[in-house]
Structure 1
Amino acid sequence: MSAPASSTTAPDAPPANPRPTRKDPYFSNAKLILIVLVACGHAWAPLMDSDAVRAAYLVLYDLHMPAFILISGYLSRSFAGRPDQWRRLLTGVALPYVTFSLAYGLMRIYTEGQFDWNLLYPWYLLWFLPALFFWRLTSQIWKVVRWPIAVAFAISFAASLTALSDVLDLGRILQFLPFFVIGLRLRREHFEALRRPWIRWSGLAATAGLLAVAYVFGSDLAPEWVYYNQGYGQLETALAWIVPIRVGTFLAAGILVVTFLAWTPKREFRLSALGERTIYAYLLHGFVIKIADEGLDLYRFEWLHTPAGAVLVTLLAAGLAVLLMTAPVTRLFRWVVEPRMPWLFTAQSRRRPQEVTA
């Protein structure tokens, strides 16, 4: 994937439709679980000398961002470019990208010994914000294209056959695009259909199979394949293998996302509300993990590279993600994560949707 429940979707910006509505606990639960998995994935990165951790890492990375992006697409269906929606897109995505890019650049003075800040080149986890900005801007296009999902896949595969630019992490914007478009085209009943017993249990079996494959062959697969950020010329793979491997990662992602959504609880729990605040965990947990890894060099301890150490790292990462969505943290950082800035926008952009004139 904290004060009154924020309207922020996870790990993206506030939802396109700001009407006050009761949140669906199904999506809150999904986003909460996913942000915990994101934090775990980042915490596992230095432990990939273990075949088991590497297998879990590869499978996890082919799940959590595709699932997040699909949900972001689903929650972007109502984006129509109204003034209030533009305001929320700017304050919930663009401005946090600028401020957190600067903050991470300053942190790198401590972790890497130099200040590095360039808005054209998102660093670490910040790539998602410009990607979401672009995807949401194009959401209306996919409503008029005749075969939107097919076109999105064509763009994604074409991108994988080129040497992709690092500007705004273009590789991820283009290669992850199908998941966003699929989300745009889904309806609530599609998620309900996934709860059929045969889908749930066959999905678990397939996921176990993917973990086994990743355990056996994971050392031969570069993590960049599940980052979806590089294409031919950057990956050390023959051109003839680019499309088959990319088809395989897409199929695996589809299985994993379907299985995850099929098993996501529908009922509301005490922690469900945290699923509406995952933007805080997403943007803030990277500071802790990078400082622990590169600043304090905590991963130098050999016992962390044992099964017990991996379990401890997992529990600490999950606890960190939950902590960063609690009320004290969100109150402390709301000014920078969800800035209001009413002085920057016209009165029309601050009206409630029903008051906005054509």
Structure 2
Amino acid sequence: MRPRDARSRPRCWTGERTRRRVRSGRTAREAHWDTTRYVAGTLVLFVHVAGPLTTLDGVRWLYVATWALRVPAFALLAGYFSDAGPLTPRGLRALMLPIVVPYLAVGLLHTLERRWATGEWRLFLDEPAWAMWFLLSLLCWRLALPYLARLRHPLALAVGAALCAGFLPADVGGTLQLSRTLCFLPFFLLGWRLREGLLARPMRAEWSRFAALAVLGTVFVAAWPLRDEVRPAWLQMRLPYETPSEVLIRVCVLLVGAAVTLSFVRLVPRRRLPFVTYLGAGGMYIYLLHPLALRLLTHAGIDYAWVGPWPEQAALLALAALLAAALASPPVRLLTRPIIQPARPRRRPPPPDRRDRPTAPTPTTPDAAR
């Protein structure tokens, strides 16, 4: 099945076929997705900040309850803004530049920071640095999308690949993060299908708002008694199955994750939210820069011994939100834009054809005029 032409494509659930253009020629940002980016980025940062505190009930509960609002949400966002058109040489260059440059540049920063903090050299190329695996997976997803879009049921195929990824040996599944690339591919394709018009009417219907509230409420309530039963490996999906029965667990993880992610996207307001939406434009800055910031804080001797009961855990979440706001702030974005969002080369206009050049008018003689 070939991807449909953009003019015949049904409206996506946000009500827009394409992103609007402002008078300056730049693409107008969609407030709904910027807000989603900020919330997802803040939750990713909080989980990494609270990594040593997973024995605390509140942190463990939030880790389980918000899993689908973090990396699955980022994967869905990446799919929503991906193009399934044919890969021309120019398109391939435009696809790889915003992924390869941040991967290499931020990986180099990890190498230098690690050298400064521990005194050892380590290059992050085939084995990505902390949280950088997502860029490798994103590159694979976007390269494969034009070919997956031609299939009749690409989403079902992606789910099957995610289930089979658990049978890969650890050394194979860990190479270039192949296991997680396959396991989060369904969320990427789900985002792309949303852009193509999947679930357009249900996502705009009023009843879906209440259904989304019910889904999120049920998950947050159920996550409390299950906080110690859910293994982190089931949600990270980077290691092989320990028992064949874990296939059923992964099916449940994917289905619940898709339902929670869609519910989260449905409930995010479409209008601009003060402060939050503006910072959400730097969602990728939060994701890529926060490991560097956390390593600096750890090297500076900041620990989490003060975190104990619920109020202190809530304070840690507030501090994570402040750090996310700092990383997405205009000064940080301006300083790191060359490596996080490298400028794409401008398209040169084609040279004029000689046949299209205006020719001098033929002089008219009196005889010819007759």
TM-score between the two structures when normalised by the length of structure 2: 0.80
Partner of 2:11: none
1:191 is displaced (CA, Å) by: 5.4
Deviations 1:127-182 (A, max 9, x none): 01111011000110121111111111111111122224212111110111111112
Aligned mates of 1:184, 1:89 — CA distance in 2:
16
* One-letter identity of the residue aligned with 1:182: L
Aligned mates of 1:96, 1:229 — CA distance in 2:
23
8 A Cα contact 2:34 2:283, kept in partner: no
Aligned mates of 2:318, 2:91 — CA distance in 1:
37
1:92 is displaced (CA, Å) by: 1.0
Query: Is residue 326 of structure 1 aligned with residue 323 of structure 2?
Result: no
Deviations 1:86-107 (A, max 9, x none): 3333331101101111211222
Aligned mates of 1:313, 1:288 — CA distance in 2:
15
- Superposed, which structure 2 residues align to 1:171-186 within 5 Å? 171-186=179-194
Aligned mates of 2:236, 2:350 — CA distance in 1:
42
Q: Which has the larger radius of gyration?
A: 2
Aligned mates of 1:188, 1:306 — CA distance in 2:
46
Partner SS for 2:28 = coil
Identify which of structures 1 and 2 has the higher relative contact order when contacts are C-alpha pairs closer than 8 Å and 6+ apart. 1
1:81 is displaced (CA, Å) by: 2.4
Aligned mates of 1:313, 1:84 — CA distance in 2:
45
Classify 1:194/1:177 alpha carbon distance in 2 versus 1 (closer, same or farther; 3 Å): same
Partner of 1:347: none
Partner of 2:319: 316
Q: Percent identity?
A: 29
8 A Cα contact 2:179 2:237, kept in partner: yes
Partner SS for 2:66 = helix
Classify 1:270/1:245 alpha carbon distance in 2 versus 1 (closer, same or farther; 3 Å): same
- Superposed, which structure 2 residues align to 1:220-239 within 5 Å? 220-232=229-241, 237-239=242-244
Partner of 2:6: none
Greater fraction of residues in helix: 1
Partner of 1:210: 219
8 A Cα contact 1:66 1:257, kept in partner: yes
- Farther off after superposition, 182-191 or 67-76: 182-191
8 A Cα contact 1:16 1:76, kept in partner: no
Partner of 2:140: 134
Classify 1:212/1:109 alpha carbon distance in 2 versus 1 (closer, same or farther; 3 Å): farther
1:318 is displaced (CA, Å) by: 0.9
1:44 is displaced (CA, Å) by: 2.1
Partner of 2:307: 304
- Superposed, which structure 2 residues align to 1:266-277 within 5 Å? 266-271=270-275, 272-277=277-282
Aligned mates of 1:281, 1:81 — CA distance in 2:
29
Aligned residue-pair number: 327
8 A Cα contact 1:16 1:75, kept in partner: no
- Farther off after superposition, 279-288 or 145-154: 279-288
* One-letter identity of the residue aligned with 2:302: L
8 A Cα contact 1:16 1:78, kept in partner: no
TM-score between the two structures when normalised by the length of structure 1: 0.82
8 A Cα contact 2:84 2:149, kept in partner: no
Q: Aligned match of 1:351 in 347, 350, 361?
A: 347
Aligned mates of 1:76, 1:40 — CA distance in 2:
27
Q: Aligned match of 1:187 in 195, 204, 227?
A: 195
Partner of 2:283: 278
8 A Cα contact 2:20 2:28, kept in partner: no
Query: Is residue 98 of structure 1 aligned with residue 107 of structure 2?
Result: no
Classify 1:255/1:222 alpha carbon distance in 2 versus 1 (closer, same or farther; 3 Å): same
Aligned mates of 1:336, 1:96 — CA distance in 2:
5
Q: Once superposed, what is the RMSD of the aligned Cα atoms?
A: 2.7
Partner of 1:5: none
8 A Cα contact 2:20 2:27, kept in partner: no
* One-letter identity of the residue aligned with 1:171: S
Classify 1:56/1:150 alpha carbon distance in 2 versus 1 (closer, same or farther; 3 Å): same
- Farther off after superposition, 270-279 or 165-174: 270-279
Flag structure 2 segments of 5+ consecutive residues without an equivalent: 1-17, 352-370
Query: Is residue 87 of structure 1 aligned with residue 93 of structure 2?
Result: yes
Classify 1:121/1:16 alpha carbon distance in 2 versus 1 (closer, same or farther; 3 Å): farther
- Farther off after superposition, 222-231 or 201-210: 201-210
Aligned mates of 2:56, 2:235 — CA distance in 1:
18
8 A Cα contact 1:92 1:337, kept in partner: yes
Query: Is residue 250 of structure 1 aligned with residue 254 of structure 2?
Result: yes
8 A Cα contact 2:76 2:191, kept in partner: yes
Deviations 1:50-73 (A, max 9, x none): 122101112222321111111211
- Farther off after superposition, 90-99 or 213-222: 213-222
* One-letter identity of the residue aligned with 1:266: R
Partner SS for 2:123 = coil
Classify 1:200/1:107 alpha carbon distance in 2 versus 1 (closer, same or farther; 3 Å): same
